[in-house]
Amino acid sequence: MKIISTLGFPVITLIFIVLLYRELKSAIAKTNWIPERKQKISLRILIGFILWAVAVSAASASGFTSRFDLFPANAMPVVVLPLITILFLLFSSTMKDILHHISLKALTQLQVFRVFVEIILWMLFLQNLLPIQMTFEGLNWDVLTGVTAVLAARFLLNSKPWLIVWNIFGLVLLINIVAVAILSMPTPIRFFDNEPANVIVTQFPFLFLPAYLVPLAYTLHIMSLRKLLMKA
């Protein structure tokens, strides 16, 4: 169990980022851009994924993200930087062209990774490394998005209003657990006083959860919503 819980987040990140990159590259290939631009955009996306993984690994391995005496400076780059970057990119004209060709079914199905994330969180709780409120036994209901992802991709694709509702529901569940996670950390704004405090997600390689998998979840939702609203 220890090996699985330790390597879980990086492995999930690798698998599902590769799957997302494959979908993006396939969509780029269907655009009417010139071949040089298609290759350049695909390469930039790949380099971006790799550089962020390196930055996340370096920040957590150095111990900076675990310096709660520096809060919120220790967490802000991990939380804010990907959010700002992703929002900027998703609402660019380049991404608009890509979204016209990307598979809505694939964007929805990829959310199934959240089931595996919840299993890893539960394993960490069983090892007394994570507080119960961050699991599905506590206040973390994010597993519902992962469980229903395949069903949504199967039955809601022809019902855009319901698929929009499902994506909004997934975002609400994501915001909920992010808030619980922050309020479980040993900071001045800590609300949940039970032990252990939520410190492990700031350490390597567990930082891949807030730095990569959380952004992946809201990126898939925002991409889906923008594609749905563009068609509408």
pLDDT digits (tens, 9 = 90+) for 89-116: 988 999 999 999 999 999 999 999 999 9
DSSP state of 200: G
> Looking at the predicted structure, is the pLDDT value of residue 189 above 70?
yes
Q: Whose CA is closest to 58, among 206, 204, 214?
A: 204
- What are the residue ranges spanned by the domains of the chain? 2-231
Distance CA 153, CA 111 (A): 10
> Looking at the predicted structure, is the pLDDT value of residue 232 above 60?
no
Q: Whose CA is closest to 142, among 106, 107, 178, 109?
A: 178
In terms of Cβ atoms closer than 10 Å to its own Cβ (0-12, 13-18, 19+), residue 121 is buried
What percent of the chain stands above pLDDT 90?
90
Distance CA 8, CA 122 (A): 12
Non-local (6+) Cβ contacts of 111 within 8 A are 145, 146, 149, 152, 170, 217, 220, 221
What percent of the chain stands above pLDDT 70?
99
DSSP state of 197: P
Residue 66, pLDDT score: 93
Considering the chain, what is the average pLDDT of its residues? Answer: 94
- Place 206 in a pLDDT band, splitting at 50, 70 and 90: very high
Q: What is the pLDDT of residues 121-172, one digit of tens each?
A: 999 999 999 999 999 999 999 999 999 999 999 999 989 999 999 999 999 9
Query: Tokens 């990140």 label which residue?
Result: 13
Residue 122, pLDDT score: 97
